[in-house]
């Protein structure tokens, strides 16, 4: 239970950083085109993690040997190299589809559609034989209601941008499930560093082919780029990998979806955007959903007897 509370707090901190980074991204993309912004922030995030890994290896010498074995242990498909490639590719496609989708739809609709991963994750999880309890489904329904109030306006229409953002939500859902798979097998900081370097390099190639941002524009957006790179990429996504370890991926997705709620509050504080009554109700519903998802479930008498008889084995599983 203590581990679940700790991981929940880590994921909430992740959502907080992502929500405030939305302000930085909004300001930065007024000067830099989407692919260039995404490429530079990912490269900054990956480079930021390199000295962090060196420091951790210096403080914990045994960690260096463990990292070396994780690059190819126990097989390629379970290695940090393979995990970094899969997570990096999924993140590249998801984040860039989202960036282009936002250009053709409203920010509110983009936020709502992107956060639909809180429904997509448990649906995809069913195909991976991951059970989702009724209480979690109830929390998902409440959270989606809150997101609708938080993000959607009076008129509901569909556009090309909505389709692009929805495709990005599917890819973000796959990214969450990939993190759930690899986080228990490889070092979180190494996995995070690799995914950002891969995303940064691939996106930078695309930016050279399709965009024309210059050095002056990059310098003008230096602070948003460094904040998004170091905090949103380097820190927050690493916290996501650490926080998701041993967590139900659906519950993790619910907590991470608070990013939309926090971005609205951050916009209200830093950009002086108006927070309506409808949006405040949406925020409250989302917080309520997270609380419901985290409530301890009462065990039946039969389950309690089984736990008493197999206490030692269950302790090892924890």
**pLDDT band at 136; cut points 50, 70, 90:** confident
pLDDT tens, 34-86? 899 999 999 999 999 988 888 877 777 776 666 666 655 555 555 778 888 99
Burial bucket for residue 132 (CB in 10 Å: 0-12, 13-18, 19+)? middle
Q: How much is the average pLDDT of 278-283?
A: 78
Q: For tokens 């070092």, what's the residue?
A: 187
pLDDT tens, 206-247? 999 988 878 888 898 899 899 989 998 889 888 988 888 878
What pLDDT score does 56 carry? 78
Distance CA 110, CA 112 (A): 5
Which structure tokens are listed for 4? 């679940």
CB 147 within 8 A of CB 112: yes
Of 15, 16, 22, the residue nearest 227 (C-alpha): 22
- Compute the Cα dihedral for 128, 129, 132, 137 and give only its sign: positive
Which structure tokens are listed for 132? 């989702």
Q: In terms of pTM, does the model score above 0.85?
A: no
C-alpha distances out from residue 304 to 4, 248, 308, 311, Å: 20, 21, 6, 10
Q: Is the pLDDT assigned to residue 162 strictly greater than 80?
A: no
What pLDDT score does 91 carry? 94
What pLDDT score does 72 carry? 54
Residue ranges in 104-237 assigned as alpha helix (H): 107-114, 117-127, 134-151, 160-182, 188-210, 215-220, 222-226
């Amino acid at each position: 239970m203590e581990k679940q509370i700790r991981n929940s707090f880590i994921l909430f901190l992740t959502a907080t950083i992502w929500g405030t980074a939305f302000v930085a991204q909004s300001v930065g993309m007024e000067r830099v085109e989407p692919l260039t912004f995404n490429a530079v922030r990912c490269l900054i995030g990956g480079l930021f993690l390199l000295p962090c890994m060196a420091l951790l290896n210096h403080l914990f010498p045994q960690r260096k040997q463990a990292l070396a074995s994780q690059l190819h242990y126990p097989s390629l498909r379970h290695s940090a190299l393979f995990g970094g490639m899969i997570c990096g590719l999924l993140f590249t496609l998801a984040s860039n589809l989202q960036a282009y989708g936002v250009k053709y739809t409203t920010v509110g609709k983009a936020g709502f559609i992107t956060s639909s991963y809180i429904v997509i994750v448990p649906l995809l999880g069913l195909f991976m034989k991951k059970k989702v309890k009724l209480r979690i489904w109830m929390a998902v329904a409440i959270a989606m209601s809150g997101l609708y109030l938080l993000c959607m306006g009076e008129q509901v229409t569909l556009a090309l941008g909505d389709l692009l953002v929805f495709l990005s939500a599917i890819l973000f859902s796959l990214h969450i499930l990939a993190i759930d798979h690899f986080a228990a097998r490889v070092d979180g900081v190494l996995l995070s560093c690799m995914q950002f370097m891969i995303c940064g390099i691939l996106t930078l190639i695309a930016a050279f082919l399709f965009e024309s941002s210059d050095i002056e524009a990059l310098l003008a957006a230096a602070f948003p780029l460094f904040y998004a790179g170091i905090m949103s990429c380097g820190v927050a996504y690493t916290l996501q990998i650490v926080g998701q370890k041993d967590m139900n991926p659906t519950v993790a997705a619910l907590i991470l979806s608070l990013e939309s709620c926090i971005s609205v509050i951050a916009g209200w504080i830093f950009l002086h955007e108006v927070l309506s009554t409808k949006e405040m109700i949406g925020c409250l519903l989302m917080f309520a959903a997270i609380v419901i998802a985290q409530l301890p479930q009462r065990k039946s008498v039969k389950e309690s007897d089984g736990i008493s008889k197999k206490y030692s084995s269950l302790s090892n599983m924890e």
